[in-house]
Structure 1
């Protein structure tokens, strides 16, 4: 059975806001301590994956009891982060969408690495976004529709060295065939003026970040 959505719960900042994103038919994946978060909130992860170096032996036993499948690895002898391993598995399932939660946190290196994982999903033509309590992040290389919601701001930042042919419709600050390069801040804190805005990109990869204070 092909899933409609796969939600990955990693070990970064999580809370009740994350639980509210779960739909009845979602496949849930617990990544390292994110698996403990799901189990403690009464959910049975379809997969719990990682090196589990951030949980105790008792917590690991609890994760194993309540998960449909567990995939563990050595915390030292591995090349991929737990989140990248989980994302690779999710991409293989070919869902309509992948949502990453708990991938932003106090470790900036992990946060930046997880944002860059959106490139992996884009390469695989998988619809993927990162969500936390105050942000929603996606990566665009062609066309994107943005709906007006509880996020006040929409910011655009190039992930590649240069992004060209950027055209915005439905925004307070429109762009027409514009170019953004690494280090440019022109795309920060735009605002939707219509219910639906569109973003078109000719070349390069553009981070689209919806946020609220």
Structure 2
């Protein structure tokens, strides 16, 4: 399964990101606009930079534009997609089947809600999309899934339906 990391321009706890990324590896890395600024202190060079590049620091942008192995997909600010959606479309074109996103919840509430909706949109197209930050892990379930409390990320777990119907949800005490 080809795995992709997308780093967006939302607020990201760098210490969390370092720890999180030390436990994972990716086949393809995309910086969505100002997400490029987060990759810099993590010493990660993306495969692609996507978006209208309206919020990324120009000095950071120039530094990466001089690297020949990075593909730039620059869009006009007047567009129908968010930079995160454009990054997900790039991941799909690259054949990525699973995507982890950092920064999707921090910053603007309209973007956070939109990013959660994007999870469902791409899930319906067969892509596994997960959103992580220092306090949350969001992912969509389909089919049969078993959770073991001791293996769940974080202290709390919530199940929220993305459609009108949630079927087959059971909880059990014990092992």
TM-score range, shorter chain: 0.7 to 0.9
* Cα deviation 1:120-144 (Å, max 9, x = unaligned): 2211111121111111111123222
* Cα deviation 1:36-64 (Å, max 9, x = unaligned): 21134321100011111112332221231
TM-score, length of structure 2 as denominator length: 0.85
* Cα deviation 1:133-158 (Å, max 9, x = unaligned): 11111112322233424412110112
Unaligned runs of 5+ in 1: 173-192, 195-213
Q: How big is the shift at 1:96? A: 4.0
CA contact (8 A) 2:64 2:70 kept: no
Q: In structure 2, what is the equivalent of residue 159 of structure 1?
A: 162
Unaligned runs of 5+ in 2: none
> How big is the alpha-carbon RMSD for the aligned residues of Structure 1 and Structure 2?
2.0
Q: Report how many residues are paired.
A: 169
* Cα deviation 1:74-127 (Å, max 9, x = unaligned): 112x11000000001112223342101111113111100001111122111111
> d(CA) in 2 for partners of 1:13 and 1:143?
33
Write the mapping of 1:70-149 to structure 2, written as runs, cut at 5 A: 70-76=72-78, 78-147=79-148, 148-149=151-152
Write the mapping of 1:161-180 to structure 2, written as runs, cut at 5 A: 162-169=164-171, 171-172=172-173
Structure 1 stretch displaced more, 99-108 or 37-46: 37-46
Q: In structure 1, what is the equivalent of residue 11 of structure 2?
A: 13
Q: Which has the larger radius of gyration?
A: 1
Higher relative contact order (CA 8 A, sep 6+): 2
Structure 1 stretch displaced more, 78-87 or 140-149: 140-149
Task: Describe the SS at the equivalent of 1:144.
Answer: coil
Distance 1:17 1:164, change over 3 A: closer
Q: In structure 2, what is the equivalent of residue 37 of structure 1?
A: 38
